[in-house]
Amino acid sequence: MATITLTAAGTTFVSGTLPDLNLSASPVIIVGTNPVFGESIGFLQFPLPPLPVPSVDRAILRLFVIYKTGADPSSIEVNRVTEDFDVTTITYNSMPPFVATGLATNVTLGDVAKFIEIDVTDLVNQWLPVPGSDHGIALTNSDGITEVQFGGKGIGDAFEPQLVIDYSPVAPDETSYAYIYNTGNQSIPVEGDIPFNANGALLGVSHNVDNGSIIIENPGTYAVWFSVTGETPNQFALFQNNSPVPGSIYGTNAASAGNLGMVIISAQAGDVLTVRNYSSDEAILLDNSAGGTEVNTSASIKILRIGPPTSPDPALAAVNAAQDIAEMRMAIEDPLLGLDLTAYNALSPALQDQVLATILANRPTLGYQTVASVQDALNNAINQLVDPDNIYVKAGSVGGDGSIANPFGTIPEGIAAINPGGTVHVLAGTYPITAQINVNKPDITVLGEEGTLLLLQADLIPLLITGNGATLQGLTITSDIPYPKEFIQIGAPNVKLIGNTIYGPPQDPPMSDWVVNRAVVSQVATSNVLLEGNTFYSLRTGMYINPNTTGAINNNVVYNTKGGFLVDGAFTTFVGNSWGEPPNEFDIVLLAGTTFGPPYDDIPALQAANNNATISDQR
């Protein structure tokens, strides 16, 4: 339900004893029989604004009673005036005709110094179908004895007549549109509106010709296009309810050239649109003869409803009101908003500021509408970050910068860009390798995801790790054909291989004839390596562990190899490793020269700790 309250635009009364006297200067309205003025009739004007409904639910005329004569109630009748009149010139002899409406109320002495209310719904609903028929109201009292004095125009805002109208907005039509145009060559003053003089098509939109106001009848989101041809350079804008619509100010430096504008707005029923000469240097003369001898259209506007009205989630009030990074931070970090801030919280404060600035800059003029749209904006802003601690790589990407939205195309690019201690995220895809990749920065992680495949296509060691504390995790690695090389060579201390899958192409038996391809080889005296949760299969060897290598090899799965782990004078521990099908020829091989002491001094314990591993002891 919508309510509007109108104050009378004009009031007066006419006197039967002074039939040629205009009494509009009076701040009171006398109705009835007065000892000086005789028969007195009150007149009120309430020009209706455009209403987006064919009828109203309720209309109440409110009149403040100043004075009343007689003990008996006075009947005040409401009459419909049928012609225009001017309150400043009307007299008893020149008063307009009026007809009874059957609407009336009794005024008593108890009503003095109070507002009385008369239901005039039927009268207002008679006016609505006929634009311009709201000529006014005549008040009469036919008892011939009493008079009632009401507050009129000029008595003070608190006591002037009011018309209170309640109406229910019409449910939006699926389609509302308008094409309204002007063929005149009027001069449009600065801050003046174009008075369009013709209606081409109207549905759900109303407009009176030779008037600048266009009324939206159905709430909705509207696309609006306008065109203005002026004889001189100009600037025009779309105004909504007397305020410029952001993004709708368009200008041209050319004479007699179309100034074209377009914008999308959210409008409610009753909103008023105008096309205004906004900040031009001077009044603009519209050009209706440019280019030929016929009168042409000098201005036009097209309006098309494209959806329901925008209705931002009230929970987003702070997000949509934020004016700076600090305010946006408070808004999106509010736990009541329910955003997923996992990725955001992982950022440094400086990078968070970049994200917040992006959310602020990209906020639509109509505001973020849903929490989901804010989440999308947050995710997109994060995805566009170039975070030197988190660099992204995607096979086939060209011209990338390492962000999620614009990743690098190769792993070496990612490693070159990453900070020590950061993570190179290798996104799903196939990465052909024809040159060695050196993982050469300390404490970095090269992290794959499901669907990430590194495919060796040359006779070389594809991954050399020389960065202290580097980690390879979640990678799947294979080759197009068997090459007599290891897939990973560890050449730095504290390296971790976690959750990788490494396998070779099928080779015909016997295993003794297989190309010597290996998942991993450690360089001599490599310290503190960790292999955790990896899977190696279809290889000559899972891992060859060179002399004096130390570390832990835990919970890996190795199968279909000639030797799962070959220990050559190393000191790595083995715990929780298991063996699939087809089985390895041997799961663990202790080569000649390997210590008889810890951690290989108790073979049964070593077997038991690794799911009954088959051990070849060649010491």
Q: What mean pLDDT is predicted for residues 325-334?
A: 94
C-alpha to C-alpha distance for 216 and 262, rounded to whole angstroms? 17
Q: Are strands 299-307 and 220-230 parallel, antiparallel or unpaired?
A: antiparallel
* Mean pLDDT, rounded, for 294-307: 93
Q: pLDDT by residue (tens digit) across 367-383? A: 998 888 999 999 999 99
- Whether the Cβ atoms of residue 290 and residue 229 lie closer than 8 Å to each other: yes
Considering only CA atoms, which of 101, 22, 114, 35 is closest in space to residue 67? 114
Q: According to the model, what pLDDT value does residue 54 have?
A: 83
Q: Which CATH number fits domain 428-617: 2.60.40, 2.160.20, 1.20.120, 3.30.70?
A: 2.160.20
Strand, helix or coil for residue 177? strand
**Count of beta carbons in the 10 Å neighbourhood of residue 482:** 19
Ranges assigned E (strand) in 268-374: 272-277, 284-285, 299-307
Residue-wise pLDDT for 31-46, tens only, equals 999 999 999 999 999 9
Report, in angstroms and rounded to the nearest whole number, the Rg of the chain calculated over CA atoms: 43
The string of pLDDT tens digits covering residues 596-611 is 999 999 999 999 999 9
pTM of the model: 0.57
The phi, psi pair for 461, rounded to 5°, reads: -85, 110
Are 482 and 504 spatial neighbours (Cβ–Cβ below 8 Å)?
A: yes
pLDDT at residue 170 greater than cutoff 80 = no
Bridge partners (DSSP) listed for residue 277: 236
How far CA 465 is from CA of 50, 125, 392, 529, 535, in Å, comes to 77, 85, 19, 11, 19
Domain definitions of the chain by residue range:
2-167, 177-307, 314-383, 428-617
22-36, 113-127, 171-185: segment of lowest average pLDDT = 171-185
Question: Angle at CA 508, nearest 5°, toward 485 and 532?
Answer: 45
Token pair recorded at residue 180: 């309204």
User: pLDDT tens across 471-507, in order?
Assistant: 999 999 999 999 999 999 999 999 999 999 999 999 9
Q: Could you tell me the pLDDT band of residue 174, with boundaries at 50, 70 and 90?
A: low
User: Which residues are registered as beta bridge partners of 424?
Assistant: 391, 446
**CATH code reported for the domain at 177-307:** 2.60.120.40
529-532, strands of its sheet edge to edge: 390-393, 423-426, 445-448, 471-473, 496-498, 529-532, 550-554, 571-575
Q: pLDDT above 70 covers what percent of the chain?
A: 99
Buried b (16+ CB within 10 A) or exposed e, 158-186: ebbbbbebebebeebeeebbbbbbbbbeb
